[in-house]
Amino acid sequence: MDLNLLNPQQRAAVCHCEGPLLVFAGAGSGKTRVITCRIGYLLRHHGVEAGRILAVTFTNKAAREMHERVKEEVGRRAVKGMVISTFHSLCVRILKEEIERLGYKKNFSIYGTADQVRLIRDILQELGKDGQRGDAERVLWLISDAKNRLQGPGDFSSAGGGADQPLAAETYARYQKALKAYNALDFDDLLMLAVRLFREHPEVLTKYQERFRYIMVDEYQDTNAAQYELLCLLAEGHRNLCVVGDDDQSIYGWRGAEPENILKFEGDFPGTTVVKLEQNYRSTGNILAAANAVIRKNKKRKEKALWTAGGEGRCIEYLRCDDEEDEARTVVERIHAERFRNDLACRDFAILYRTNTQSRAFEEQLRYENVPYVLIGGQQFFDRKEVKDALAYLRVLVNSRDEVNLLRILNYPRRGIGETTADRLIRHSSEAETPLWEVLRNPSAVEDLGAKPCEAIVAFVELMERYRRRFSRTPSLAVAARDLFGEIRLEDEIFRGAEDPTRARRRLDNLEEVVNALASFEEREGSPTLEGFLGKVSLLDDEGPGRGDKDSKLAQDAVTLMSLHSSKGLEFPVVFLAGMEEGFLPHRKSIEETFDIDEERRLCYVGITRARRHLLLLNAAQRKKYGKPHPRVPSRFMEEIPAELLDEQGSTARPPASEEEQEEQANSFFSGIKALLGD
């Protein structure tokens, strides 16, 4: 490790070892290098054992990358025992050891969003509500928000709120009771229960405080109340807590993030050393000047200003377009021009926007011009129906009390246990206060159950018990899963349910990929278990929609279309920031709230700082709403960028030619060719 390769501020952060440290890391300032070098410094120069270090990130991808970088820095052996993980992975690790103290079993399931929505819909129906998906998702959001603030059902019911509060409060209590009965947790429970465990069992807290003597947290500005409390508890006593973040890039308030956490850190940890990383290694001077000018308007922030030693670069282009189609044509025209002039690849361009609905016009124009593009977002692999069906079998094998997944597979593939039979089984389970699995083991005790459904239930239980035994002793989880899926004829069911053979084949490939994932897991793990595999899969839901395939998409030579939220952490040589209008950026829902406007301004700042060499800002004079044109007003953020940084232009894109015009142009072209050839 050569500390001379670091700038003075980076070096100060790396060499600080004892006591609280707050690192304000501006966009493109090399924060990842600082974190990995600091870990290496603790190991090599401060004599810290690897097992005493905990580094926390927000995504599995970031954790993997950090682990690889630290290994490159100090070697594979030196990092053995170190924990580099997400908040949720850390809590799973703790709860797998200690959760029995809270009345759960160690083989708990982790419910993703789809399972949560299904359970809440059932509860809403029990309460006499219609249980539509939209209602369930709204109630789930309120419950999740309460958990992020460490509010249990009792605290939540007395905590004021809007029109949905009473229904959400009643649902919350039943939801938690159902989760406990199913021995299941959702992602928010992982954090809330870990905090509860530490508060109620001081001896457990002491154990982990002694283990993790040096704690580092990346993207600290994105922490919520539960994550903040977890860190405060772990760092109590030794106070060796290093947090790295940028309040100017806090853009997840709608997800519970509290940028105040980073701003109040010095007050919470007296004697904190503060380091500001302001030298930017990504963007040109003009781009940074625009970013600084915009974010400076936010009052509730730590004062800092990005700068670069790399020169001013090109002026930022401000392109004023007629409408959304003209905006799209202008962007594609500029892509062609930049590629020709500067020898750029398609992957060097990104089109960023505030809302996903804005992508439509760009997609159409890129297709029209035969320009390859990727749209970041969409469905992750483990969210696909056929994959969730296969995983549901595996989840029930591990946790028979997981009734959400048990009901999912009870008659899938079809085995003669219809809805009427399922309703009777559920009613008997509820009235007898007996887990559904125990009811299935003795179906003859259920009233009005015919002989054929009883036979089907007995066969189903026998199948599951047989494979539970097999998975507990098999040398190959992948082979056991393949045999299970074959025995229940999942392939036949997929073919029956597919709209056409092509989609069926694609879904069968996904089913095969589940088995492949198990095989890969076995190769990586020293002592692989089905429970361990499902835990890894569940934590992938922590990544958020569309992130699972982001890397593979970005590797293609194609123009990238993505929302501003999705762009955080990425960079591109040329960035088009579209829809710079009131109602888009800032978003119409935020215009009335000063606090929300601050977050919209941070979003704009994030978008600007994604650009390395050239930034183009666009807006439209009008846009269609239900087919009719409506006037638009330029974003207030445009007024905050100094005029001398901007090269303001009107649109130069021409509308697509009509068929007659295309034919006339073609005839003229060929006539010219003939004249040149003397024909």
354, 610, 612, 632: which one is catalytic?
610
Banded model confidence at residue 545, pLDDT cuts 50, 70, 90: very low
Banded model confidence at residue 627, pLDDT cuts 50, 70, 90: low
Identical fold at 3-96+200-279 and 109-182? Answer: no
57, 151, 227, 249: which one is catalytic?
249
Torsion of CA 90, 94, 96, 98, to 10 degrees: -170
Q: Is the dihedral of CA 83, 86, 89, 91 positive or negative?
A: positive
Tens of pLDDT, residue by residue over 1-56, are 678 899 999 999 999 999 999 999 999 999 999 999 999 999 988 899 999 999 99
Amino acid 538 reads S
Region 93-121 average pLDDT: 93
H/E stretch holding 523 reads helix 501-524
- Does residue 115 carry a catalytic annotation? no
* In the predicted structure, residue 605 carries a pLDDT above the cut 90: yes
Which residues have a Cβ under 8 Å from the Cβ of 182 and sit 6 or more positions away?
109, 399, 401, 402, 403, 404
Instruction: Please provide the distance, in angstroms rounded to a whole number, between the alpha carbons at the two ends of the chain.
Output: 72
Mean pLDDT of the chain: 88
Q: What is the CATH number of domain 286-379+549-650?
A: 3.40.50.300
Pairing of strands 622-625, 628-631: antiparallel
**Greatest mean pLDDT range, 9-23, 67-81, 133-147, 426-440:** 9-23
Rounded Cα distance between 252 and 259, Å, is 9
* pLDDT confidence of residue 679: 46
Class of domain 381-543: mainly alpha
115, 135, 189, 219: which one is catalytic?
219
- Does residue 218 carry a catalytic annotation? yes
Banded model confidence at residue 520, pLDDT cuts 50, 70, 90: confident
* pLDDT confidence of residue 507: 84
CATH superfamily of 3-96+200-279: P-loop containing nucleotide triphosphate hydrolases (3.40.50.300)
Which residue, chain included where needed, has tokens 């992982």?
190
Which residues have a Cβ under 8 Å from the Cβ of 331 and sit 6 or more positions away?
351, 362, 365, 576, 578, 616, 618
Which range is least confidently modeled, 53-62, 189-198, 489-498? 489-498
Query: Which position has the higher pLDDT, 372 or 536?
Result: 372
Tens of pLDDT, residue by residue over 266-295, are 999 999 999 999 999 999 999 999 999 999
Tens of pLDDT, residue by residue over 394-420, are 999 999 999 999 999 999 999 999 989
- Does residue 151 carry a catalytic annotation? no
Question: Structural domain boundaries of the chain?
Answer: 3-96+200-279, 109-182, 286-379+549-650, 381-543
Rounded Cα distance between 657 and 663, Å, is 9
Banded model confidence at residue 671, pLDDT cuts 50, 70, 90: low
The secondary structure of 357-402 as a DSSP string is GGHHHHHHHHHHTT--EEE--S--GGGSHHHHHHHHHHHHHH-TT-
- Is-contact 637 604, C-beta < 8 A? yes
* 407 CB neighbour count, 10 Å cutoff: 19
Region 566-585 average pLDDT: 95
Class of domain 109-182: mainly alpha
11, 32, 369, 424: which one is catalytic?
32
115, 135, 218, 386: which one is catalytic?
218
Banded model confidence at residue 659, pLDDT cuts 50, 70, 90: low
Query: Which position has the higher pLDDT, 22 or 665?
Result: 22
H/E stretch holding 38 reads helix 31-44
9, 31, 395, 541: which one is catalytic?
31
Which residues have a Cβ under 8 Å from the Cβ of 305 and sit 6 or more positions away?
278, 292, 296
The secondary structure of 599-610 as a DSSP string is HHHHHHHHHHTT
Pairing of strands 646-650, 559-563: unpaired
Tens of pLDDT, residue by residue over 344-366, are 999 999 999 998 878 878 988 99
Query: Which position has the higher pLDDT, 2 or 388?
Result: 388
* pLDDT confidence of residue 542: 54
Which residue, chain included where needed, has tokens 């949560």?
116
* 419 CB neighbour count, 10 Å cutoff: 8
Structure-block tokens of residue 371: 């320009």
